[in-house]
Amino acid sequence: MKQSMIFAFLFLMNININAQNPFLKIKAKAPNKLKLGQTYVLKTSVVHNFNIEKTGGLTCTLLNGKTHVSVDGWFINIFPFQYFTTILNTPFETEFSFTVPNDYKGNFEINLVANVDQIKDSIHFVVPTYK
Protein backbone atom coordinates (compact mmCIF):
# COMPACT_ATOMS: atom_id res chain seq x y z
CA MET A 1 0.00 0.00 0.00
CA LYS A 2 2.80 2.40 0.93
CA GLN A 3 4.60 1.77 -2.40
CA SER A 4 1.38 2.46 -4.30
CA MET A 5 0.97 5.79 -2.51
CA ILE A 6 4.57 6.77 -3.26
CA PHE A 7 4.16 5.79 -6.93
CA ALA A 8 0.92 7.78 -7.18
CA PHE A 9 2.55 10.81 -5.55
CA LEU A 10 5.55 10.68 -7.91
CA PHE A 11 3.23 10.24 -10.91
CA LEU A 12 1.22 13.33 -9.92
CA MET A 13 4.39 15.33 -9.31
CA ASN A 14 5.64 14.42 -12.79
CA ILE A 15 2.40 15.58 -14.41
CA ASN A 16 2.58 18.85 -12.51
CA ILE A 17 6.22 19.43 -13.50
CA ASN A 18 5.48 18.71 -17.18
CA ALA A 19 2.45 21.01 -17.12
CA GLN A 20 4.67 23.90 -15.99
CA ASN A 21 7.19 23.67 -18.85
CA PRO A 22 7.03 27.02 -20.68
CA PHE A 23 5.96 26.91 -24.30
CA LEU A 24 5.17 29.15 -27.26
CA LYS A 25 2.83 28.21 -30.07
CA ILE A 26 2.21 30.28 -33.21
CA LYS A 27 -1.25 30.09 -34.75
CA ALA A 28 -1.90 31.50 -38.22
CA LYS A 29 -3.91 30.57 -41.26
CA ALA A 30 -2.16 31.31 -44.52
CA PRO A 31 -4.07 31.73 -47.79
CA ASN A 32 -4.38 28.74 -50.15
CA LYS A 33 -3.28 30.97 -53.05
CA LEU A 34 -3.06 34.69 -53.82
CA LYS A 35 -3.76 36.68 -56.95
CA LEU A 36 -1.05 38.93 -58.38
CA GLY A 37 -1.54 42.45 -57.02
CA GLN A 38 -3.61 41.22 -54.08
CA THR A 39 -3.03 42.61 -50.58
CA TYR A 40 -3.33 40.11 -47.76
CA VAL A 41 -3.48 40.56 -43.99
CA LEU A 42 -2.03 37.53 -42.19
CA LYS A 43 -3.66 37.32 -38.75
CA THR A 44 -1.30 35.72 -36.26
CA SER A 45 -1.55 34.68 -32.63
CA VAL A 46 1.14 33.55 -30.20
CA VAL A 47 -0.14 31.36 -27.37
CA HIS A 48 2.00 30.70 -24.28
CA ASN A 49 1.79 29.55 -20.69
CA PHE A 50 4.26 31.96 -19.07
CA ASN A 51 3.12 33.12 -15.63
CA ILE A 52 5.51 36.09 -15.54
CA GLU A 53 5.85 38.94 -17.98
CA LYS A 54 8.59 38.50 -20.56
CA THR A 55 9.35 40.37 -23.76
CA GLY A 56 9.55 38.41 -26.98
CA GLY A 57 9.56 38.93 -30.71
CA LEU A 58 7.55 37.65 -33.66
CA THR A 59 9.08 37.82 -37.14
CA CYS A 60 7.35 37.36 -40.51
CA THR A 61 9.72 36.69 -43.41
CA LEU A 62 8.64 36.32 -47.04
CA LEU A 63 10.90 34.29 -49.34
CA ASN A 64 10.93 33.37 -53.02
CA GLY A 65 9.67 29.78 -53.31
CA LYS A 66 12.48 28.70 -55.69
CA THR A 67 15.52 30.64 -54.59
CA HIS A 68 14.63 31.10 -50.87
CA VAL A 69 15.82 34.73 -51.14
CA SER A 70 13.93 37.42 -49.21
CA VAL A 71 11.15 39.24 -51.08
CA ASP A 72 10.03 41.32 -48.08
CA GLY A 73 10.72 44.67 -49.77
CA TRP A 74 9.19 43.59 -53.05
CA PHE A 75 6.02 42.40 -51.26
CA ILE A 76 5.88 45.63 -49.20
CA ASN A 77 6.13 43.71 -45.91
CA ILE A 78 6.52 46.97 -43.94
CA PHE A 79 6.41 45.66 -40.36
CA PRO A 80 8.08 42.23 -40.44
CA PHE A 81 8.91 42.26 -36.70
CA GLN A 82 6.63 42.72 -33.69
CA TYR A 83 7.64 42.86 -30.03
CA PHE A 84 5.23 41.40 -27.49
CA THR A 85 4.93 40.98 -23.74
CA THR A 86 3.63 37.74 -22.31
CA ILE A 87 0.60 38.22 -20.08
CA LEU A 88 -0.80 35.23 -18.20
CA ASN A 89 -3.59 33.45 -20.14
CA THR A 90 -3.55 36.13 -22.85
CA PRO A 91 -2.42 35.29 -26.39
CA PHE A 92 -0.59 37.97 -28.36
CA GLU A 93 -2.45 38.80 -31.57
CA THR A 94 -1.11 40.82 -34.47
CA GLU A 95 -1.32 41.18 -38.24
CA PHE A 96 1.25 41.21 -41.03
CA SER A 97 0.11 42.95 -44.21
CA PHE A 98 1.78 42.45 -47.59
CA THR A 99 0.98 42.79 -51.29
CA VAL A 100 1.89 40.29 -54.02
CA PRO A 101 3.63 42.21 -56.83
CA ASN A 102 1.81 42.30 -60.18
CA ASP A 103 4.79 40.76 -61.99
CA TYR A 104 5.70 38.07 -59.43
CA LYS A 105 5.92 34.49 -60.75
CA GLY A 106 5.70 31.27 -58.78
CA ASN A 107 5.25 30.37 -55.13
CA PHE A 108 6.44 32.31 -52.13
CA GLU A 109 7.08 31.22 -48.56
CA ILE A 110 5.86 32.73 -45.31
CA ASN A 111 8.05 32.02 -42.27
CA LEU A 112 6.84 33.03 -38.81
CA VAL A 113 9.22 32.76 -35.84
CA ALA A 114 8.42 33.61 -32.20
CA ASN A 115 11.15 33.90 -29.53
CA VAL A 116 11.05 34.49 -25.79
CA ASP A 117 14.41 33.97 -24.07
CA GLN A 118 15.59 30.55 -25.31
CA ILE A 119 12.08 29.31 -26.16
CA LYS A 120 11.14 29.37 -29.83
CA ASP A 121 8.38 28.28 -32.18
CA SER A 122 8.17 28.61 -35.94
CA ILE A 123 5.67 27.90 -38.68
CA HIS A 124 6.16 27.78 -42.45
CA PHE A 125 3.70 28.12 -45.35
CA VAL A 126 4.12 27.88 -49.13
CA VAL A 127 1.64 30.02 -51.06
CA PRO A 128 1.11 29.76 -54.84
CA THR A 129 0.24 32.85 -56.91
CA TYR A 130 -1.97 33.21 -59.99
CA LYS A 131 -3.00 35.95 -62.48
Query: Is residue 53 situated within a structural domain?
Result: yes
Query: Is residue 4 situated within a structural domain?
Result: no
Q: Could you tell me the CATH number of the domain that includes residue 28?
A: 2.60.40.10
Query: Is residue 121 situated within a structural domain?
Result: yes
Query: Is residue 78 situated within a structural domain?
Result: yes
Q: Structural domain of residue 39, as residue ranges?
A: 23-130
Query: Is residue 109 situated within a structural domain?
Result: yes
Query: Is residue 113 situated within a structural domain?
Result: yes
Q: Domain tally for the chain? A: 1
Q: What is the distance between the alpha carbons of residues 28 and 12, in angstroms, rounded to a whole number?
A: 34
Please give the chain's pLDDT, 131 residues, in tens: 555 544 444 444 444 444 567 899 999 999 999 999 999 999 999 999 998 999 999 999 999 999 999 999 999 988 899 999 999 889 999 999 999 999 999 999 999 999 999 999 999 999 999 99
Which residue type does 67 have?
T
Q: Is 99 helix (H, G, I), strand (E, B) or coil?
A: strand
CA angle 6, 18, 84 (to 5 degrees): 155
Query: Is residue 55 situated within a structural domain?
Result: yes
Q: What is the pTM of this model?
A: 0.81
Query: Is residue 2 situated within a structural domain?
Result: no
Report which of 13, 90, 94 is spatially closest to residue 57, judged by C-alpha positions. Answer: 94
